[in-house]
Amino acid sequence: MRDTKNAISLATIFALGLTQIIGYGTLYYSFSILAPGMAKDLGITLEQVFGVFSVSLLVGGLSAPMIGKQMDGIGAATVLTVGSLFSALTLALCAWSPSVAVFALAIVLLEVSSGMVQYQAAFAALVESDPKTASRSITYLTLIGGFASTIFWPISAALMGYMSWREIYLVFAALNLVVCMPLHFWMMRKGKAASANGTARERQRVIGAIPPEARRGAMVVVSAAFAILGFTLASILAHMVPMLGDLGLGAAAVVIGSLFGPAQVLSRLLNMIFGTRLLPPMLAVISAALMVVGILILGLSGSWLPGAVAFAICLGLGSGINSIAQGSLPLYLFGSDGYGAITGRMAAARLALGAAAPFAFAMAMELLGISLSLFVTAALGMVGMAAFVSVAMATKRSVVAAG
């Protein structure tokens, strides 16, 4: 019986892993590759295309709490299934868009659909499936999903040699419709069957480490910490390769930037093997520390090649662990009840603040220069790290008091 349950759990993780690779690859990572073609075709500047994308991130963040509540109400697997269909339709709308106005609307809807099919929904589905093993499953899932950029950046670039961006988006729409939606539908049917035969009642819910009377304050601190670190990471990632080039690294900038993705995967693999005893609050602190250290190294080393390599690796390691913490920390602190709504509110703060990050960092570099902008960004990251440290200490006191 246990072997069967484990097999089903692994099947769920692998199914979600595939849909996350497609979801992030088609809805997020491909955009930067296709954006120049979009700008040329629509007769607008590249900055305007990315401006539309920033607005879509803001709207996506504002929609996250509503999506989270729907996960708790009708089930995360159902939201994933509907989201796959919605993603396919919005990609097709974007491909068809005859005007800039329709294109902008489609991009905004695309980001809303992303909230229905990416990590926020996938993590909720794992918690819904089995709360007790969800933290470990989240680690496995992020390890698989970490290959999205590695797979879809080169795929998108290769397809641009043979197809227009509109045709590529139609192919991506088909992937969401033909691959992702059936897998999510299978999960939805499996979950309903488990509820019908009573096995869902056998699972024990996870009780949060934070007592109910302290949850509101902890929620604010954790949401702010994730939002600050999200802003810090988005600021750097949006400008990583050109920034490294401006520092004097030349052609090596692209190679150095490419280290970020593998470092993300490596951090998740290391956490899966060696980090099983680390509690989620400590994971969050480590992730923040790695990102801050990486940014400081680049600010201090400038055009020194080993420093830039260390920066990309540290940033990737921190980002990889941060993705795990986004799913496991809310479960550990606040429990499995209302997990979708909780993570939805956190995602809203993170995405809304992150939407302004590329523009804010660009302005900072213009006014302050690259090095000083990096130090300011690192200082902001330290604020987020301090917030995670305070949560870790408060959690430790709560556990000791309860014991």
The per-residue pLDDT string of the chain (403 residues; one tens digit each, 9 = 90 and over) reads 454 455 557 888 999 999 999 999 999 888 878 888 999 999 998 888 888 888 888 888 889 889 989 998 898 999 999 999 999 999 999 999 999 999 999 999 999 999 999 988 999 999 888 888 888 888 889 888 888 877 887 888 889 889 999 999 999 999 999 999 999 999 988 876 665 555 544 456 777 778 877 788 888 999 999 999 999 998 888 788 788 888 988 878 878 877 887 888 888 888 887 767 788 999 999 999 999 999 999 999 988 999 999 999 999 999 999 988 998 999 999 888 888 888 888 888 888 888 888 878 888 888 999 999 999 999 999 999 999 999 888 887 665 555 5
Which pLDDT belongs to residue 176? 97
280 within a domain of the structure (yes/no): yes
The answer to whether the beta carbons of residues 79 and 70 sit under 8 Å apart is yes
Which pLDDT belongs to residue 317? 94
Q: Which range of residues forms the domain containing residue 256?
A: 212-402
CA separation for the pair 326, 347 (Å, rounded): 9
Look at residues 202, 233, 251 and tell me which one is the last residue of a structural domain.
Answer: 202
For residues 227 and 188, state if they share a domain. Answer: no
CA separation for the pair 356, 55 (Å, rounded): 9
Cβ partners under 8 Å of residue 178, min gap 6:
none
For residues 250 and 384, state if they share a domain. Answer: yes
388: exposed, middle or buried (C-beta count within 10 Å: 0-12, 13-18, 19+)? Answer: buried
Which pLDDT belongs to residue 84? 96
The answer to whether the beta carbons of residues 222 and 346 sit under 8 Å apart is yes
For residues 193 and 217, state if they share a domain. Answer: no
| Residue 146 DSSP symbol | T
The answer to whether the beta carbons of residues 65 and 348 sit under 8 Å apart is yes
Phi, psi (degrees; rounded to nearest 5) at 44: -125, 170
For residues 197 and 222, state if they share a domain. Answer: no
For residues 198 and 294, state if they share a domain. Answer: no
For residues 221 and 366, state if they share a domain. Answer: yes
**Cα distance from N-terminal residue to C-terminal residue, the chain:** 33
Phi, psi (degrees; rounded to nearest 5) at 88: -60, -45
Q: Considering its fold, how many domains does the chain have in total?
A: 2
Look at residues 202, 222, 242 and tell me which one is the last residue of a structural domain.
Answer: 202
For residues 16 and 146, state if they share a domain. Answer: yes
For residues 239 and 148, state if they share a domain. Answer: no
310 within a domain of the structure (yes/no): yes
386 within a domain of the structure (yes/no): yes
For residues 69 and 134, state if they share a domain. Answer: yes
225 within a domain of the structure (yes/no): yes
For residues 133 and 234, state if they share a domain. Answer: no
Domain CATH for 103:
1.20.1250.20
186 within a domain of the structure (yes/no): yes
For residues 197 and 216, state if they share a domain. Answer: no
Look at residues 202, 233, 258 and tell me which one is the last residue of a structural domain.
Answer: 202
Which pLDDT belongs to residue 53? 85
Global pTM reads 0.84
207 within a domain of the structure (yes/no): no
2 within a domain of the structure (yes/no): no
1 within a domain of the structure (yes/no): no
Q: Which two tokens stand for residue 40?
A: 């040329």
Which pLDDT belongs to residue 201? 46
For residues 188 and 222, state if they share a domain. Answer: no
Which pLDDT belongs to residue 57? 85
Which amino acid is located at 100 in the chain? V
The answer to whether the beta carbons of residues 327 and 195 sit under 8 Å apart is no
